[in-house]
């Protein structure tokens, strides 16, 4: 599969989906004007990827902010990974948040409770 790479803007996150280098990441801020238009290529790519995924997929989410509209699309992304796990594939979600950002840490825990995919919670300092 070809790599999907979306450069960040002030309102949208950096996205890289690169199976050749085993790099799957969303990072930055997510409050695009039209979240469905922004995330549709990501959802389409992941839907195709789940048919023939890598042996192990580690998906990194390192958001510093996301709005309510983005939260639904993030859940949609995570549900694709849940389907992969149900099909027997090895998936790990790595939820990175700043040590001082309790809201983002809590958001990761809430997503973990909603889906049946292994989660790794990692905090970092700037």
Assess whether pLDDT exceeds 90 at residue 8. Answer: yes
- The arithmetic mean of pLDDT across residues 20-29, rounded, is 98
Range of the domain at 22: 4-124
- Could you tell me which residues are beta bridge partners of residue 125? none
pLDDT in tens, 68-121: 999 999 999 999 999 999 999 999 999 999 999 999 999 999 999 999 999 999
Assess whether pLDDT exceeds 90 at residue 19. Answer: yes
Q: Which of 38, 49, 57 is closest to 1 using CA atoms?
A: 49
Q: Kindly indicate the confidence band of residue 126, based on its pLDDT and cuts at 50, 70 and 90.
A: confident
pLDDT recorded at residue 50: 97
**What pTM does this model have?**
0.96
72 contacts: CB under 8 Å, gap ≥ 6: 35
Give the total number of structural domains in the chain. Answer: 1
Mean pLDDT rounded to a whole number for the chain: 97
H/E stretch holding 75: helix 68-86
CA-derived radius of gyration, the chain: 14
């Amino acid at each position: 599969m070809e790599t999907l790479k979306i450069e960040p803007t002030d309102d949208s996150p950096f996205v890289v989906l690169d199976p050749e280098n085993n790099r799957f990441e969303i990072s930055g801020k997510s409050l695009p004007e039209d979240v469905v238009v922004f995330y549709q290529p990501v959802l389409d790519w992941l839907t195709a990827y789940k048919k023939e995924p890598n042996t192990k997929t580690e998906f990194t989410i390192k958001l510093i902010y996301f709005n309510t509209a983005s939260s639904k699309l993030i859940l949609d992304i995570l549900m694709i990974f849940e389907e992969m796990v149900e099909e027997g594939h090895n998936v790990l979600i790595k939820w990175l948040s700043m040590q001082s950002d309790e809201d983002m840490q809590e958001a990761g825990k809430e997503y973990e409770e909603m889906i049946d995919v292994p989660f790794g919670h990692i905090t970092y300092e700037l």
